Amino acid sequence: MSVIKITKNNFEQEVIKSDKPVLLDFWAPWCGPCRMVGPVVDEVAEETINTAKVGKINVDEEPELAEAFNVMSIPTLVVMKEGKVAQSAVGVKPKQAILSMLK
């Protein structure tokens, strides 16, 4: 399994109760920078398949989750560890920077 679509319905199970770090990618289909970082996030998901989870949250479909994380600009990347925000970054990031967020 690679990237998980995160919704308010599966958020607690997939993110809060996860025994691995979770990278959340807040994005929207109309966002140019999101389309640039999307394939990079997919690569990170494949490379960290045994050590982390990667989820994408469409801010148009899940406004409550975007609001809960105070997402003002997209793409926003958030790393959750043990149900808490460990790191976050806004904007397009190189793959190495995203991978280092998960360490």
Active site residues: 31, 34
If phi > 0 it is left, if psi is from -120 to 50 it is alpha, else beta; for residue 82 that is: left
Q: How far apart are CA 48 and CA 50, in angstroms?
A: 6
C-alpha pair distances (Å), 78 with each of 53, 91: 12, 11
